[in-house]
Amino acid sequence: MVNIKDYVKVEEDYIISLRRHFHRHPEPSLEEYNTALKIEQELEALGINHKRVGKTGVLGIIKGKQLGDKKLVLRADIDALRVQDLKEATYKSITDGVMHACGHDGHTASLLGAAKILKAKETEMGGELYLFFQQAEEIGQGAKVFIEEGYLDTADRIFGIHVTSDLDVGKVSVTKGAVNASCDYFKIIVRGQSAHVSTPQKSVDALYIASQIVIGLQAIVSRQTNPLDTVVVGIGVMRAGTAYNVIANEAILEGTTRSFSVETRNKTNHAVIEIAKQIGSAYGALVEVVFEDYASPLINNNEVCDEIAAIAEKIVTKEGVITTREKSLGADDFAEYLLKVPGMYAYVGTRNENNSNTGKPHHNGSFDMDEQGLLIATNLYVDYALDQLK
């Protein structure tokens, strides 16, 4: 039983039409120029103050008319993926090789729907409501821009929503603690010395050394990590060599680490650096390790989870609120906000057994969603804002 509020129901066509617009016109990370323009146009039409954040992010600000000094942030990510849209639908992506295969089109539409409703209810609110339409989540770069420009400063709470194809419509995950892993990218560059394959003693074989590093890194999980802790150290790329009879003078490895705590993350990344350099040194090679921070572990605040659960139960009933959703090794840079401000990230079900595409995994070319889930997302945004800024 889902109890969508009347003030959300009347905006159903608005929300769904926006979602389909964004789905037809996807833009990848840091290229969301037209997406940002459309968001600005909608905010302008609603009379909501707004400004660009970075080149493609958008901030909307609604100031309550009642007394109050609380500041609440609601966030939606807006970027698409370089994935070919394989489904047949009237709102299929018209951009070759790019689609919203993760649901960010739905997030953007839901937050715009909430913005429209909350602007109409500003006389019922005190304090300030900040709307983050955040770019570049898929590459872990957007949240940093909002933080660096100071828009999270003085915030009391932050709340974000992600749709999910592993929950049915009418289910909302409000799970305490760690729910998403950290994500770090690394590149290991091994510099050796080339020679003819018939004279290996004259070389420093970068390919062989890189192979030993790949093997050595596996010990981080198997021998340096508590078996009850979850860690991933994965190598996805290995490049080396120029000819079959020339010993490689350079090799490049690219990979990722994932974990669920700040302490484990730091320990794991340090181990990658130490193992790679020590193996390289043992064979006479120079090794450089470069890390890029994509996302911290996403750890929900317990108190905010209780606040959201109370709101969600009134919409999807107590039975519809999931508090034990399995942790995901996928990452989300919403985690960066949670390092600074109490908040939580809810997952809203959009799977419908009558539409097989709504059950497809995220980042799949046939990914789709039951758009009724977006009404639940909008309702959560609105009711939490009204509760916090009353």
Per-10-residue mean pLDDT of the chain, 390 residues long, equals 96 98 98 98 98 98 95 98 97 98 98 98 97 97 98 98 98 98 97 98 98 98 95 98 98 98 97 98 98 96 98 98 96 97 98 96 98 98 97
Q: Note the pLDDT of residue 1.
A: 81
| Superfamily for domain range 6-179+299-388 | Zn peptidases (3.40.630.10)
Buried b (16+ CB within 10 A) or exposed e, 110-124: bbbbbbbbbbebbee
> In angstroms, how far apart are the furthest CA atoms of the chain?
82
CA-wise closest residue to 110 among 177, 19, 224, 229: 19
Q: Within the chain, which residue ranges are assigned CATH 3.40.630.10? A: 6-179+299-388
CATH of domain 183-295: 3.30.70.360
CA distance 232 to 137: 21
CA-wise closest residue to 107 among 342, 362, 304: 362
Q: Which residue has the tokens 């606040």?
A: 307
Q: Within the chain, which residue ranges are assigned CATH 3.30.70.360? A: 183-295
Contact partners, residue 356, CB within 8 Å, separation at least 6 = none
What size, in residues, is the chain? 390
C-beta atoms surrounding 286 within 10 Å: 14
Q: Note the pLDDT of residue 88.
A: 95
Contact partners, residue 329, CB within 8 Å, separation at least 6 = 180, 181, 230, 232, 258
Q: What are phi and psi of 197, to 5 degrees?
A: -60, -20
Q: Note the pLDDT of residue 214.
A: 98
- DSSP labels, 273-301: HHHHHHHHHHTT-EEEEEEEEEE--EEE-
